[in-house]
Amino acid sequence: MTGYHFPNFAEVYTSKYSAVRNWGNGNLSPFFPEDMTELTIATSEDRTAYQPGEEVVGDVHWKLDKPEGVLELRLFWFTRGKGVEDAGVVESVRFDQPQQEETRTFRFRLPDSPYSFSGKLISLVWALELVAEPAKDVHRLEITMAPGGKEIQLGSV
């Protein structure tokens, strides 16, 4: 489908529009009560901790206040903290011509790396993100991807 521009992760992650909409770990901001679009991501058994190479399986559900052209679910990682932030989309799936209210199943295979970690200066976070275009509504679910399903805690340098 032509005519739709999917913003790259940096555009979505750093835009003030996205930051407001990602208030409260992905919930829509209370500052936009008139916005009735609902986007949800639910993993199987509500899991948020995974090991490298495991499958992330679940459902995405949307209830749109007006018809959208396309929705996209992304599996990605990003860094946050001091210094330059980085990000990488590992896999994505497009849902063309979505119904106004619909549920779809997804399945992603996690790569071997990079692991989720947290340090004093920087953290690496994995997430699933559902984006509705062209309105740019966004919902994000953060997950952990590391051996044993536990985020690696970095000590002081």
Q: Which pLDDT tens digit goes with each residue over 74-112? A: 999 999 999 889 999 999 999 998 999 999 999 999 999
H/E stretch holding 42 reads strand 38-43
Q: Is the dihedral of CA 64, 65, 70, 73 positive or negative?
A: negative
* Mean pLDDT taken over the chain: 83
Asked if residue 71 is part of any domain, the answer here is yes
pLDDT one-digit tens code per residue, 18-77: 433 344 444 444 444 455 689 999 999 999 999 999 999 999 999 998 887 899 999 999
- As given in the structure block, the two tokens for residue 56 are 């992330």
Q: Is residue 85 part of a domain?
A: yes
In-domain check, residue 83: yes
Q: Is residue 124 in some structural domain?
A: yes
Amino acid at 130: L
Residue 137 lies in a domain: yes
Retrieve residue 59's tokens.
Answer: 């459902």
Please indicate, yes or no, if residue 74 is contained in any of the structural domains.
yes
Nearest one of 149, 124, 138 to 37, comparing CA atoms:
138
What does pTM read for this prediction? 0.77
pLDDT at 4 > cutoff 50: no
155 domain residue, yes or no: no
Number of domains into which the chain is organized: 1
Range of the domain at 109: 9-45+53-146
Q: Is 152 part of a structural domain of the chain?
A: no
Q: What is the CATH number of the domain that holds 92?
A: 2.60.40
